[in-house]
Structure 1
Amino acid sequence: MSNPENIVVTATTELFGKKDPTAVDRWFASDYTQHSALAADGPDALHQLVAGLGDDFRYDPARVIADGALVALHGTYYGFGPDPLVGFDIFRVDANGKLAEHWDALTPLVSGTVSGRSQTDGPAEVTELDKTEANRALVTEFAQKVLVGADYSVLTDYISTETYDQHNPEAADGLDGFGAAAATWASQGKNLVYKKVHKVIAEGDFVLLQSEGEFGDPAAYYDLFRVGGGKIVEHWDVIAPIPAELPHTNGLF
């Protein structure tokens, strides 16, 4: 099995579906590098984490985006704590077909969202593979000009004015919905500040950004966009605080 997507899906299904710690021995590199705030570095720490999962633990996958050696998962964890958590996970698969590196971000599952959409529902199948690079370029430029550059005057160059389905639990659909949510956050001292885009993972009509910035406090942004007709038409995200201390020295990014 040499396909990175198949490797990651198989490994995580064995880990989090079957709760089988021995999957670490089969699928993870001996120098596995951890960036999560939930686990220490190396395969032994992951082995211990999986071995400690309770009977109530489960993972509900929503979508998979594969881009070369990087594979991103979007889904919901139950039993990682008292409340369900929506998360993005990014894995890097090495040349030997082993999971060699991992990044993630988690946020509480919200039952009553402003848009009425859940944090994970919506299209899941990757389409328009021939437009991957065009969509990557569109979202990358949007990230630099609008998110990092904070030039909202060009917003409609990138986001559709006809359809913009929103899955952030505090924002309504459309550009007006996003604007209203941003104004509310600003009134709470939580301006959307993007300082650096660390990764752009693209496959077909889906593009995932992993970014660093501030949302009142230092924050990790994971923004998943779906592109249609040359414009962004749908958005899912996780905004997670960056802890002051991590259980390793690898950083969150």
Structure 2
Amino acid sequence: MKKVLTVFVLAGILASCNTSKTNATSESNQSQEKTMNNKEIVGTFLGAVAKQDAEKMRKFANADYIQHNPFVPTGLEPFIGLLPVLKENGTYAENVRLFQDGNYVFMHNIWHNAKPFGADEMVAFDIIRVDENGKVAEHWDAMTVLVKETASGRTQTDGSTTLTDLDKTEANKKLVTSFINDVPMGKNQGKIGEYISSEQYNQHNPQIKDGLNGLGEFFQYLASQNITFKYNKLHKVLGEGNFVLTVSEGELMGKEQVFYDLFRVENGKIVEHWDVIQEIPTEGLAHNNGMFDFKNQ
């Protein structure tokens, strides 16, 4: 039960984004669907999930909906068949941040009443791909337990939500890509000061203090305890304006992990960071799609 619910609580995230209205004819409905942006399409689909409206779900998503949460069956009908689990457990999601990069919509969420996951509250990043026909086609996610007391005094989800610098999206994605390659992946860690602001670096990882000094202390602690922490491959970079999300694969304490990192960039420097780290399971898998595989663009 713990993992089966993982995707279903997405249902309530974007119901408020649903801008579609009931029209007098099916033709006007179809016309409206064509004018919806990807955020609105995803919001409408998840609103239908929240209402357990299977007919609307089928209208806005592909029958071969591809699932990358390792414990949830792939395909739309298996997804629909498990919706009652959501109602039984009273689990729901609160959206904190919502962004769009081309045909991808990516979200930062808090899950409440999440005891089926193993904790009362969980933090997650979710990515949904909308295909060229305007249909919800694919889903990725990672989740972790919400921690009440953190090293920085910040929560895992608070901080800036203001979207700016839309004209700098590609430059910010390039900056963050270089940072991941040079620092977490170890190609040139001495360049960290070129990427992270020395004046402001708000840290939301619960184990790390603010600032470059806090980050340095964290890595020193890992080294003193012989804890393995490394990124091996960068799978995806998504961005909108001053926010950039990366999805990476690596190791922590000898176990394979997925790393979701959200960065806020200001004046060419990283000034804020949120993350979710989840162990990649090898048993009890519902499919063989894996937690990555972004080959569909």
The TM-score, its normalising length taken from structure 2, stands at 0.80
Q: Which amino acid aligns with 2:68?
A: H
Aligned mate of 1:4, from 30, 33, 38:
38
1:240 aligns with 2:278: yes
Q: Which moved more, 1:84-93 or 1:44-53?
A: 44-53
Unaligned runs of 5+ in 1: none
Spell out, residue by residue over 1:26-73, the C-alpha distance to the aligned partner (whole angstroms, 9 max, x if none): 322111111102301111222133221135211111101210001101
| Paired positions, count | 251
Name the CA distance, whole Å, in 2 between partners of 1:165 and 1:214. 24
SS class of match (1:147): coil
1:203 aligns with 2:236: no
Alpha-carbon contact 1:75-1:86 (below 8 Å) kept: yes
1:77 aligns with 2:111: yes
Q: Tell me which residue corresponds to 2:289.
A: 250
Name the CA distance, whole Å, in 1 between partners of 2:44 and 2:207. 34
Q: Tell me which residue corresponds to 1:60.
A: 94
Rg larger for: 2
Q: Tell me which residue corresponds to 1:29.
A: 62
CA change 1:19–1:231 in 2 (3 A) is same
Alpha-carbon contact 1:185-1:191 (below 8 Å) kept: yes
1:21 is displaced (CA, Å) by: 5.0
Name the CA distance, whole Å, in 2 between partners of 1:123 and 1:49. 35
Aligned mate of 1:134, from 159, 166, 171:
171
1:221 aligns with 2:259: yes
Q: Which amino acid aligns with 1:252?
A: M
Counting aligned pairs with the same residue, the percent is 45
Q: CA RMSD, aligned part only?
A: 1.6
Q: Tell me which residue corresponds to 2:16.
A: none
Q: Which amino acid aligns with 2:96?
A: A
Name the CA distance, whole Å, in 1 between partners of 2:160 and 2:68. 28
Unaligned runs of 5+ in 2: 1-32, 293-297
1:95 aligns with 2:132: yes
Alpha-carbon contact 1:28-1:100 (below 8 Å) kept: yes
Q: Which moved more, 1:185-194 or 1:166-175?
A: 185-194
The TM-score, its normalising length taken from structure 1, stands at 0.93
Q: Tell me which residue corresponds to 1:151.
A: 188
Q: Which amino acid aligns with 2:58?
A: D
Name the CA distance, whole Å, in 1 between partners of 2:224 and 2:79. 40
Q: Moved runs in structure 1, 4+ residues, more than 3 A? A: 185-190
Alpha-carbon contact 2:48-2:57 (below 8 Å) kept: no
